[in-house]
Structure 1
Amino acid sequence: MSQSTESTTESNPFTRPGFIVAAAMVVALVAVGIVIFLLPKGQSSAEPAPASSSTVTASPSASSDGGKSICGLPGSAETTLGTAPQSKWELVGRIATPTDPKTFGPGESDSSGFRTCFAHSPTGALYAAMNIVALGSSGSTDLEQKLADKLLVPGAGRDAAMRQAAADSRTTGSSTPIQVRGFLIKSYTPGEANIDLAFETDKGALGRTTLSMRWMDGDWKVKPADDGTTYMGATQIRDLSGLILWSGV
């Protein structure tokens, strides 16, 4: 089992120790045959909540603290997102990722596929979080270094992430394909957002993790832990209860 775990760690960017790490850590364990449910005591296995067909009703406007997108995307005074946005999806690496360059982002993309500039709104924060996850799954050292440099909040965590990205020469993508299945914006202000994302592996295992986002320099960035980890509280879940269903595949 240790040999299998080591092999998965080598090939799966979500499971290696770097700023790409912990998002699918528990899910990856399932992929190598270690099934451990880390459910809080008393949590039920209720059926997943039905997907909503409603769209976000927020109209573009100046954000409440005056922050402007670096590429001119419209902001919103909304502070909640209670339904799934109607999203267009495209593959980034092997992960279906939302895209709306004129409204929510990414508003900018370079020749390497690096994607930046998201709207100053709850939906913009959600799109930014999902795109960062997808970029991190690509296995590209160049993209990992750009992520650490451009899309992490400066500090000890970003410094650690940049060191880890520079030291990591592997370019193989994830051997355990995952796709987003749902989200929950746990909190949102014009300056900070905490976003839960749920993923499913190709084997049907579900995992949930949190990204802590900060609005700075005209874009959403991830606040990493001091060790460079961008994802917090990764756990395996039984179903999608409590989440808003949202998926591109």
Structure 2
Amino acid sequence: MGLFSRDSGSGSAGDDADGDAAGVFWQERGFIASAIVVGAVVVCLLVWLFARDTGTPTTQPTTSPSTVVPTEQPTEEPPVPPATPTEQPTSTATPSGPPTPGAGGCKLKNPDQRIPRVAPPAVTWQFEADMLIPLQQEGGPSVTDRTGVRSCFAHSPTGAVLAAMNVLGQIRNPDLTDDVLATRVMPGPGRDRAIREARVSTTPRNEGKVAQFTGFKVFDYQPNRVVLQIAVQIDEAKVASLPVTMVWYRGDWRAALQDDGSFNGEVAPDVLQSLDGYVRFRGA
């Protein structure tokens, strides 16, 4: 079972040819906690991050990604309508030097609550293993613990995007997978299952070209929960996208997993024909 799974009933989102091309990424540990990423599925977005066993799913099919709402968080705040970007997405400029640790992020007062329609400004991209992840002074991360796990993101749509990409990027690093699952993922049966599988799985190394983030879309935003579409370039010609849910929990954004230990349950990743409607956001 992988952190990212595919609906076994979905058929032609990407032809057999697309499946063969993307399959190699599904077999890399990358994005998925250790063996979570073993199993091979086609047409996925964070290729290195999601993979799943070929066995019959143990959970009922769902039509939307997991939504976990912590009981201690207020729910009376009105939801923000889903984003429907109309502006032409733009790429981000990278300033010299990373953001200053300890500033901004989850410590930022009154962060901008607007849904980003263009790439976040003043972003520095740094390698996590062989994948580039975004860092921003304002949005975070503003904390890096002794193991290297990054946290403390702004309580805003932009902060959620940055948090999602950092979690997905760091979880594919075999040296950080266990720590990321333990500290950057919402507690629950999904996380427990992912941790168990990570501990008993092999850890294959990436081979060949590495997929990279290429864009995002804020599908739905509420103060305590965000549903995102994260787009990843899996080769020169293909971009895959998958929904990821982030939850505001104990003062920071954390990723939510389905009970089967995956990010998306039965929601199949899509191979995109274009990035129309997505904010272009990449480091390379």
Match for residue 167 of structure 2? 132
Displacement after TM superposition at 1:91 (Å): 1.2
Of the three residues 115, 119, 122, the one matched with 1:84 is: 119
Matched residue type, 2:200 = A
Q: 5+ unaligned residues in a row in structure 2: which ranges?
A: 1-15, 48-86, 94-103
Which digits, 9 at most, give the CA deviation of each residue in 1:81-140, with x for residues without a partner? Answer: 22211122111122221102x4211111134321111111111100000111111222x1
- Work out the percentage of aligned pairs sharing the same amino acid: 27
1:162, distance to aligned residue in structure 2 (A): 1.1
Name the residue aligned to 2:247. Answer: 214
Structure 1 residue 202, shift from structure 2 partner: 3.4
| Matching residue of 1:148 | 181
Pairs within 5 Å for 1:112-191: 112-138=147-173, 140=174, 142-170=175-203, 172-173=205-206, 175-191=208-224
User: Normalised by the size of structure 1, how large is the TM-score?
Assistant: 0.72
Q: 1:175 to 1:11 in 2, by over 3 A?
A: farther
Q: Is the 8 A contact 1:70 1:218 kept in 2?
A: no
Task: Give the AA of the match of 1:97.
Answer: I
Task: Tell me, yes or no, if the aligned pair for 1:79 and 1:189 is still in contact at 8 Å.
Answer: no
**1:243 and 2:278 aligned:** yes
SS in 2 for 1:148: helix
Residues 54 and 180 from structure 1, CA distance in 2 versus in 1: closer, same or farther, beyond 3 angstroms? closer
* Count of aligned pairs: 213
Task: Give the whole-Å Cα distance in 1 for the aligned partners of 2:263 and 2:160.
Answer: 15
Which residue of 232, 235, 252 corresponds with 1:202? 235
The reply on whether 1:96 has 2:132 as its aligned counterpart is: yes
Cα offsets for 1:25-74 (capped at 9, x unmatched): 4158x9xxxxxxxxxxxxxxxxxx8433799xxxxxxxxxxxxx996234
The question of whether the paired residues in 2 share the 8 Å contact of 1:79 and 1:188 is answered with no
Kept in 1: contact 2:115–2:157 (CA 8 A) = yes
Q: Tell me which amino acid in the other structure corresponds to 1:144.
A: T
The equivalent position to 1:52 in structure 2, one of 90, 108, 123, is 90
* Whole-angstrom distance in 2 between the partners of 1:169 and 1:143: 15
Question: What is residue 106 of structure 1 aligned with on the other side?
Answer: 141
Whole-angstrom distance in 2 between the partners of 1:175 and 1:196 = 25
Q: Structure 1 residues 248 and 53 mapped into 2: Cα distance closer, same or farther (>3 Å)? A: closer
Structure 2 CA distance for aligned equivalents of residues 153 and 119 of structure 1:
17
Q: Comparing both structures, which one devotes a greater share of its residues to helix?
A: 1
| RMSD between superposed Cα atoms in Å | 3.5
Instruction: Choose from 259, 262, 267 the match for 1:226.
Output: 259
1:166 to partner: Cα distance? 1.6
CA apart distance, 1:225:
0.7
